[in-house]
C-alpha cells in the first residue's frame, strides 16, 4: 500500500519535507500506526507528531481510522488564531512505553507540575491467604472502542479540572512480564494544586470502569481472565457533566 503524507508549519520544518511518499506495512495501515512509524523515523519531530492533527483526503481523521491505497494523509498543528492547544495522548501499544517521552509530550511552557500513575505487573497476588506466583499477564482490548473511551475519560477530566493542561492515557496490550508497566494516566498543570493529582486518580479509576480492556493472569496454577463488576449506564455513553 502506498500513500502520500503532507506536513505543514512546524512539522514541515522538523521533518525537513513538505511531502513524503510512504509504503505502508500491515501494522502501519491506520493513522495511529502511521503516526508511530513517522515518530520512529523522525525523532526530532516526535513530540510535534504526537499532538498533531491528522486528515485523510482533506477530512479530519483520528488514530483508529484505517488507511487505503492512494490516500493523501496530512499532519499539521492546530490551526493558528485559536487558543493554544492542550496536548493529549491516547495509546494502546504492544511495546513498553517511555515515561519521560510521555511527560515531555504533555508538558507545555505553562506547566509546573505533572502527576503520573503507572501500574506494573506484580509477581505475587494475595488470594485466599496464599501468594500464587504470576508468570505473565496478557491484555486484550476492543481497540476502536477503547480509543474512543480513552478520549471520553480525557473529556471528563477536562470538564472537572479546567486547569489541567496535558493528559496522557496509555494501556499496554499483549503479553507483559513481571515488572513491566501495564497502564499509565498522567496529567500536567501549571501548579500541583490545579487538579493534576485528582485528575490522574480519576483517569485511572474511570479507565477501569468504561474502557474495554481485559487481562489474563498466567501462573504455575493455570490461567484465568480477570473480569470486573462495573455495569455501564446511559450516562457512560457521553462525557459526564462536572
- Check residues 133 and 125 and name the one with the higher pLDDT: 133
* CATH 3.10.20.30-classified regions of the chain: 2-76
Q: What is the mean pLDDT of residues 3-7?
A: 96
Per-residue pLDDT tens over the stretch 50-88: 889 999 998 989 999 999 999 999 999 876 555 557 899
Per-residue pLDDT tens over the stretch 186-218: 999 999 999 999 999 999 999 999 999 998 888
Q: Are 93 and 183 in contact (CB under 8 A)?
A: no
What are the start-end ranges of the H helices in the chain? 9-15, 31-41, 46-51, 99-105, 143-160, 196-210
Q: Which CATH superfamily is domain 88-237 in?
A: Molybdopterin biosynthesis MoaE subunit (3.90.1170.40)
Per-residue pLDDT tens over the stretch 24-36: 887 788 999 999 9
Percent of the chain with pLDDT over 70: 92
* CATH 3.90.1170.40-classified regions of the chain: 88-237
3-state class of 242 per DSSP? coil
CATH class of 2-76: alpha beta
Q: Which among 158, 166, 208, 171 has a CA at the least distance from the CA of 186? A: 166
In angstroms, the CA 172 to CA 98 distance is 12
Amino acid at each position: 500500500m502506498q500513500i502520500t503524507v503532507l506536513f505543514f508549519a512546524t512539522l514541515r520544518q522538523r521533518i525537513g519535507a513538505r511531502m513524503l511518499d510512504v509504503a505502508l506495512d500491515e501494522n502501519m495501515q491506520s493513522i495511529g500506526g502511521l503516526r508511530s512509524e513517522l515518530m520512529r523515523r523522525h525523532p526530532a519531530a516526535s513530540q510535534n507528531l504526537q499532538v498533531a492533527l491528522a486528515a485523510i483526503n482533506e477530512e479530519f481523521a483520528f488514530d483508529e481510522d484505517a488507511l487505503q491505497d492512494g490516500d493523501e494523509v496530512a499532519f499539521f498543528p492546530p490551526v493558528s488564531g485559536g487558543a493554544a492547544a492542550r496536548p493529549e495522548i491516547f495509546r494502546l501499544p504492544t511495546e513498553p512505553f517511555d515515561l519521560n517521552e510521555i511527560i515531555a509530550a504533555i508538558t507545555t511552557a505553562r506547566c509546573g507540575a505533572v502527576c503520573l500513575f503507572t501500574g506494573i505487573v506484580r509477581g505475587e497476588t494475595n488470594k485466599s491467604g496464599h501468594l500464587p506466583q504470576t508468570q505473565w499477564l496478557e491484555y486484550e482490548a476492543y481497540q476502536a472502542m477503547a480509543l474512543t473511551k480513552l478520549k471520553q475519560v480525557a473529556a471528563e477530566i477536562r470538564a472537572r479540572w479546567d486547569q489541567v493542561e496535558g493528559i496522557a492515557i496509555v494501556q499496554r496490550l499483549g503479553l507483559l512480564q513481571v515488572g513491566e508497566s501495564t497502564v499509565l494516566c498522567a496529567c500536567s498543570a501549571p501548579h500541583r494544586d490545579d487538579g493534576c493529582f485528582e485528575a490522574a486518580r480519576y483517569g485511572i479509576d474511570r479507565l477501569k470502569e468504561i474502557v474495554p480492556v481485559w487481562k489474563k493472569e498466567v501462573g504455575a496454577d493455570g490461567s484465568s481472565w480477570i473480569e470486573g463488576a462495573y455495569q455501564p449506564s446511559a450516562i457512560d455513553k457521553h462525557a459526564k457533566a462536572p
